[in-house]
Structure 1
């Protein structure tokens, strides 16, 4: 309680909390895009449940990692050396996560460009259960990668565990609220799916680059994502404006 009162009366602590919440929310966008795309592949009755489980796992994982900060910080120490460069466990995890993200995004892009029909997946609970379990496992893998990166970044911003916990709780709460609308928006707009998959490819390459020591400022990445999203938004407005004119069922206007 004394710690909370001390932090509540410290303007520096409030500034650190606000900055950390903003950072956690921004970093959570990557995770949320992946969860939305992945769960939209499931039968509709399972999607909301899979999203809740995926985001809850992200919360539990980040809170658990906060309890082992000493171990997390040690993950930045080199454990192996290849070609004259030292790699830490964090580097290895980021590289593996980036490769997984690129593989998954490439697979989804291929599926959208050249969709395959699987008659045996139309019915049958066994297939649905397997798909649900596979989705949860893949979400868990990416949760681990994003959580470790998020916690290590948070440690570099503040030493107060309480501030980190509050920031994680707020960020995951925002993710929980935004998950359903984002998933529905992505599903309703096929071009957004391809744009989001392109984002995942870029994020995967960024993770690999950081694993090899090439730091890419997050601001550049999210500025590019925001610009691409703005352009796609303008395209959507343009298509919506033309749709009534192109609709053959629309009654002609009398002059």
Structure 2
């Protein structure tokens, strides 16, 4: 193993591939991190950080395990059945990768739609639950959240690893890139989740991102490839607009607070 790694340490091409893979893994991990943040924020505060760390830790284990079986992963791109309908827009020769992407995309669309419904639903929560029932619900929700994180980790892991295979043939480079990217996700998970939790409009924007990503995964599964650059450019533009809106709201709130303070002083006089 060391004999295969040592030559890579002095190879500039290997270092360039590592940097490129790290950037790619971090960018692809943004989708996963948004999902984990939204899902964990549905839990009680004392369970959120632990759930995020478990989910991201399982993502690392899963990706390293998939890299160890890289030959099997590459085989997932081979067609398993063909509906016999071929055209310029889409192809109906489906591989296991296509089926996984379609299933993952449908899951994301369903989950994001469900969360949007909960966000706009004004029905009162079940505050009448007994304390024991609440504890059972929390335990079930933590388990459900971890299971959903694992399922989506599988989809994103297979997609990112297949992308990495096209960039380098060296498994050690892929493993190092995955470890660095997952550590970056772990560091960014709490600040991102807290930011999303404190800004309700950001939650809706993030759910919109998940809807878009789910639709892209479904399209990719059907052979309609949407360049990732377009997706992330749209996400960055939307985030920029939302950032400007937040700055505008904060400035307006400070102005209103200052005017209210001046009015209170005038009333006292």
Q: What is the TM-score of this pair, normalised by structure 2?
A: 0.91
1:121–1:127 CA contact under 8 A, matched in 2: no
Task: Quote how far apart the aligned CAs of 1:251 are.
Answer: 2.5
Structure 2: gaps (5+ residues): 86-91
Task: Quote how far apart the aligned CAs of 1:114 are.
Answer: 1.1
Say which SS state the counterpart of residue 81 (structure 1) adopts.
strand
Say which SS state the counterpart of residue 27 (structure 2) adopts.
helix
Counterpart position of 1:251:
262
Q: What is the TM-score of this pair, normalised by structure 1?
A: 0.96
Rounded Cα–Cα distance in structure 1 between residues aligned with 2:224 and 2:174: 26
Cα 1:203–1:122, aligned 2, differ >3 Å: closer, same or farther?
A: farther
Say which SS state the counterpart of residue 94 (structure 2) adopts.
strand
Counterpart position of 1:93:
100
RMSD across aligned positions (CA): 1.4
Say which SS state the counterpart of residue 42 (structure 1) adopts.
coil
Runs of 4+ in structure 1 off by over 4 angstroms are: none
**2:182 paired with 1:172:** yes
Larger Rg: 2
For residues 203-218 of structure 1, the aligned pairs below 5 Å read 203-218=213-228
Candidates 92, 97, 109, aligned match of 1:102: 109
For residues 30-69 of structure 1, the aligned pairs below 5 Å read 30-69=31-70
User: 1:188-244 deviations in whole A, cap 9, x for unaligned?
Assistant: 000000000000000000000000001111111000000000000000000001102
User: 1:140-199 deviations in whole A, cap 9, x for unaligned?
Assistant: 110000000011111111000010000000000000000000000000000000000000
Cα 1:136–1:115, aligned 2, differ >3 Å: closer, same or farther?
A: farther
Structure 1: gaps (5+ residues): none
User: 1:4-53 deviations in whole A, cap 9, x for unaligned?
Assistant: 22111111111100000000000000000000000000011100010000
Task: Quote how far apart the aligned CAs of 1:82 are.
Answer: 2.1
Cα 1:152–1:120, aligned 2, differ >3 Å: closer, same or farther?
A: farther
